[in-house]
Amino acid sequence: MSDVELPTFFELWHPTCTATDDGFRCDVDVTAAEFRELNEGTPDLIDAFARGLGLPESSREWSIRPFLSPYYAHDLWPEQVPLSPAASSSGDWRDRFGVAWRVSMNLTEVPPFRYGGLGPYDVSAIDTTWQDRRVLIGSEDREHEVVVLIDGGEPGDWSFLDEYVNRDQVEVAEVPGAFLPLHRVTVRLGRVRPQEVMGNLAAILEVCSLKLLSTHHSLTESYHLPWPERVPW
């Protein structure tokens, strides 16, 4: 009897749909369990993601961009909760950087929502283009795309990040449907060796925490302002 490969379990976070010149696009962050990863993706995989989000299965064009971020890490950094006793339970730098993929799917039909909420949406699927090897979290000498994701209310001025990064490294997006102004901010630290940016990264996480901004999905889940759920198109 041949071995049967069980479907990989994926979690989809913060799905956001926007109109484009030739249709619509859905951007969503994807994390993987069971020690699996994404590679190039397949039509069946993208259809499974679409079904999991309640989207029309009309996409045959997509992109997948891998990155590392404390937002999806297994451990919280002490700097993410500096006024509490919580701290990373591991000395391994790999536990402080979660592996994620930004998946963008082009749609030809109107999506049912503009913003799908925090998530996660659970999806069982297989990326048959991925081989059974860890490629994103590997040697300390490898370079990775490192991203800080920030959720929260308007702090008044995002210029506090100027001390740590250039303005062109910061993208600010308003969260649709929020009762009060809420934003998702992406800070791109570039393609670097993660350990080389630990100090700068820790400083960004700490200043965000002191401004009551979330830099981890578990903190967003318990955010002090009501976080929007599914916002219809």
Whether 217 has a pLDDT exceeding 90, the answer reads: yes
The per-residue pLDDT for range 55-85, each reduced to its tens digit, is: 987 667 999 999 999 999 988 999 998 776 6
pTM over 0.95: no
Contact 217, 100 (CB under 8 A): no
* The pLDDT of residue 186: 96
Distances (CA, A) of 36 to 10, 98, 104, 136, 193: 9, 13, 19, 10, 22
Whether 86 has a pLDDT exceeding 90, the answer reads: no
Whether 203 has a pLDDT exceeding 90, the answer reads: yes
Distance CA 52, CA 115 (A): 14
Whether 231 has a pLDDT exceeding 80, the answer reads: yes
- Mean pLDDT, residues 162-189: 91
- Residue 128: strand, helix, or coil: coil
CA end-to-end distance (rounded Å), the chain = 48
* The pLDDT of residue 133: 58
Whether 167 has a pLDDT exceeding 60, the answer reads: yes
